[in-house]
Chain A
Amino acid sequence: MGLREYIIRRLILLIPVALGVVILIFSLLQLVPPERRVLLYLSGNPRELNPEIIKAYIHMYGLDQPVWTQFAIWLDQLIHGNLGYSEYFQELVLQGLLKRAPATLEIVLYAAPIIILVGIWAGVNAAVRRDKPFDHASRVLSVLGTSLPSFFFGILLSAIFIATLKWTGPGRLTFRIESEISSLARTGQWYTYTNLMTLDCLLNGRFDFFLDALKHLVLPVTVLVLINTATLVRVARSSMLESLSKTYIIAAKAKGLSQKEVVYKHARRNALIPVVTLAGLIVGGMMTGLVITETVFLFPGLGNWAATAAQHFDIPVVAAYAMFSAIVFVLANLIVDILYAYIDPRIRLG
């Protein structure tokens, strides 16, 4: 089977899972009374929601119809990108999602490379220096990373670095700079290119703003890195240990290659193949970690949005975020599988 057929087959298998996710959320939403469920169908600000109007909406969106019809109507809405209206945030759910996605993406873009590089580096080195101090230290850190709850770690960091030392603050920017940016934007001296704050600051040529935005990213990124690197270190270490004990390593050593060449060219390349599969797991860990981290540091991203919505029982937002994260998670796993098949032909040929 070629790589192309493999990808096509995996993409087709994606459809039932996506449908399953949607059905699960839909069944869950059936627990909510129809008077509240109408919010999931609204495509604009309702302004006024009195019982009369709600009744009209219930009829209009077919909430008095059989379940199958309701599901069909809802699915149709989803496909057309209507995720409903958020009563708490007073905006359309889709708008809210798009508005907050860049902040989250920014954290992820900083955290992900650090997690991958540090995780692989520490895992490989721990294996090479097995039972030496480096190995023990990395094991202690990885045990700590798995047992330290992100919310507690986040609170400690903010108590020390935000409240006591005042090195940085909550949110994406210092308030003063945020208002300066909005007044600059009003006069047309500030252009929003990407909504990624650090990048926008650089593109607008404001290095002082860039530093401020970067400082606000340090703590959330630190929390995400510590929590998510642990598993990666463990897997990279054991995979590297296995790879180092293979006969081709002995052969390479016997040929008289230097230790460096043996470790980095022969052992590491093969050891990294199973590590790739972890990427999916890390994406899942990030999605969860972001909810907590953004809440601790009041970072205005998707995780904070979903957590706030859940606290106020704003069901349309919570449902949309759950579906969104499931789709991202599944897609990440799909990409990982494809990459895996690409790197290691045994997978698709076997």
Chain B
Amino acid sequence: MKLPERLEPTIKEIKFILKRFKDSPLSIAGILIVLAFVVIAVFAPLLAPPQVYNPYLIPSDPELGYKIEPSPPSPKHPFGTTRLQLDVYYGCIWGTRWAFQIALEVIIIVVIIGVALGVISGYYGGIIDEIIMRFTDIILAFPGLILSMCLVAVLTRSGWLTIDAVLLSIIIIGWPGYTRLIRGEVLRVKTEDYIEAARASGASDLRIMFRHILPNTIYSLIIVASLDFGGIVLTAAALSFLGLGAPAGFADWGRLIYDSMQFVAGGLKWWWVYTYPGVFIVLFVLGWSLLGDALRDVLDPLYRRK
């Protein structure tokens, strides 16, 4: 079958991207790590069959009794058990799915807000731009984790579920970055001749924004979002670690580490309770940051041809 001619540049581009990926071992490592996590998240019900209605609740092993002290890894519990005989392996596997869920929810909402406000801000300028930018200034005046800690504490105090509060707080600290990114891109693209041409041919504001400006900002959005993916999970894990995230018994890496704090005094005697979830977080964040770098190398014109 002969491919239509207009697809040729696309195929050339894909070949170029694949070659760039192939040449860099770190990029391959990043892709493989992220793929492995995707597989774990998708096949979680097979890898660790849920035993109760809510699959995110880690089952405990009644055969080991309800003693507080963790039990070491065994064939039945490959990563051992933590407090109250909760299975660490189960927590790590479903924690992967949970991490994707948090990151995807946050990224999608933050990108929508960022694109909407960024395009409006950059395209119209003037007083609207001024107002939106001052809002981002205020949020960015706080170190992210501290503002989100404050938000979670206040929201939970006023009756929110902690999980919802965590998501909302990460969204609130996340949107200004995206808004600024998109605004900058819009300002860059806005003065190009083809925008002028589109306007001269009578295209509406909305059409110019969505058909002409936005597609030209999409690459930087993809790069930043993939670099951010691990960061979001890291923030959520840090909140859990501070006792402000998922409730006890929930399959959340940060929560598992929070629970393991009481066993750190035992030194390396109970090493599995914090090591396994910790390694999962490290690899997840590492994978996404390598993937983000790899994407930047192929998509960002500044890095591309070097």
Residues of A near any B CB (own CB < 8 A): 16-17, 20-21, 23-25, 28-29, 31-33, 36, 143, 146-152, 155-156, 158-160, 162-164, 284-285, 287-288, 291-292, 295-296, 306-307, 309-311, 313-315, 318-319, 321-322, 325-326, 329-330
Contact of A147 among B151, B154, B244, B286 (CB under 8 A): B286
Question: Is there contact, CB below 8 Å, between B141 and A329?
Answer: yes
16 further contact pairs, Cβ within 8 A, besides A306-B146, A310-B153, A314-B153? A17-B138, A20-B137, A21-B141, A29-B154, A149-B282, A150-B238, A156-B278, A158-B264, A162-B264, A163-B266, A164-B268, A288-B145, A291-B145, A295-B241, A310-B244, A325-B143
Once A28-B151, A155-B264, A310-B150 are accepted as A-B contacts, the answer to whether A149 and B286 lie under 8 Å apart by CB is: no
Set of chain B residues within 8 Å of A25, measured between Cβ atoms: 150
Contact B282 A147 (CB under 8 A): yes
Those of B102-150 within 8 Å (CB) of chain A: 134, 137-139, 141-147, 149-150
B window 2-23: CB within 8 A of A: none
B138 contact set on A, CB distance < 8 A: 17, 20-21, 23-24
Q: Is the CB of B289 within 8 A of A147?
A: yes
The residues of A that contact B289 with a CB separation of less than 8 Å are: 143, 146-147
Residues of A contacting B149 in the complex (Cβ-Cβ under 8 angstroms): 291, 306-307, 310, 318, 322
- A156: chain B residues at CB < 8 Å are 274-275, 278
A308 to chain B minimum Cβ distance, whole angstroms, is: 9
B267 close to A (CB within 8 Å) = yes
Name which of A32, A159, A313, A314 has the most chain B CB atoms within 10 A of its CB.
Answer: A159
**B152 shortest CB reach to chain A, Å:** 7
Is B86 positioned at the interface, with any CB of A under 8 Å from its CB? Answer: no
Q: Are B238 and A28 in contact (CB under 8 A)?
A: no
Q: Is A20 touching B141 in the complex (CB atoms < 8 A)? A: yes
B268 contacts A155, CB within 8 Å?
no
Given contacts A164-B268, A311-B243, contact A32 B142 (CB under 8 A): no
User: For the complex, what is the distance from the CA of A158 to the CA of B260, rounded to whole Å?
Assistant: 12
Cβ contact within 8 Å between B260 and A319:
no
A315 to B150: give the CA distance in the assembly, Å. Answer: 8
Given contacts A16-B134, A147-B285, contact A318 B267 (CB under 8 A): no
What B residues does A164 contact at CB under 8 A? 267-268
When the two chains form the complex, which single residue of B142, B155, B156, B242 contacts A329, counting CB atoms closer than 8 Å? B142
- Also in contact, A28 and B260, with CB within 8 A (given A149-B278, A151-B241): no
Candidates B141, B156, B237, B290; contact of A326 at CB < 8 Å: B141
Which residues on the A side are within 8 Å of B242 (C-beta)? 291-292, 295, 307, 310-311
Whether A325 and B146, one on each chain, are in contact in the complex, defined by CB atoms closer than 8 angstroms, is: yes
Contact pick for B146, options A146, A152, A155, A287, CB 8 Å:
A287
Residue ranges of B at the interface with A (Cβ–Cβ < 8 Å): 134, 137-139, 141-147, 149-158, 230, 234, 237-238, 241-244, 254, 257, 260-261, 264-268, 271, 274-275, 278, 281-282, 285-286, 289-290
Give Cα A32–Cα B151 distance, bound, in whole angstroms: 11
- Give A321 to B265 CA distance when docked, in angstroms: 29
The listed residue (B155, B234, B264) touching A31 by CB distance below 8 A is B155
A155 to B262, CA, bound (A): 11
Nearest B residue to A25 by beta-carbon distance? B150
- Smallest distance from the beta carbon of A331 to chain B beta carbons, Å? 10
> How far does the alpha carbon of A174 sit from the alpha carbon of B144 in the complex, in Å?
33
Q: How far is the CB of A170 from chain B (nearest CB, A)?
A: 9
Complex Cα spacing A329 to B141, Å = 7
Report how far A307 CA is from B274 CA in the complex, Å.
Answer: 20
Q: Are B257 and A152 in contact (CB under 8 A)?
A: yes
CA distance A159 to B134 in the complex (A): 45
| Cα(A256)–Cα(B111), bound, Å | 54
Q: How far is the CB of B82 from chain A (nearest CB, A)?
A: 13
A161 to B260 CA separation, bound complex (whole angstroms): 17
B282, A319: Cβ atoms under 8 Å?
no
What residues of chain B lie closer than 8 Å to A163, measured between beta carbons? 264-268
Q: Is the CB–CB distance between B143 and A329 below 8 Å?
A: yes
Q: Contacts of B154 on A, CB cut-off 8 Å?
A: 28-29, 31-32, 315, 318-319
Contacts of A319 in B (CB 8 A): 150, 154
Expressed in whole angstroms, the Cα–Cα distance for A152 and B290 within the complex equals: 20
Chain A nearest CB, measured from B167 CB (Å): 16
Are A33 and B150 interface neighbours, CB within 8 A?
Answer: no
- In the bound complex, residues from chain B placing their C-beta under 8 Å from that of A292 are 238, 241-242
Bound complex: CA A163 to CA B260 (Å)? 14
A327 CA to B289 CA in the complex, in Å? 30
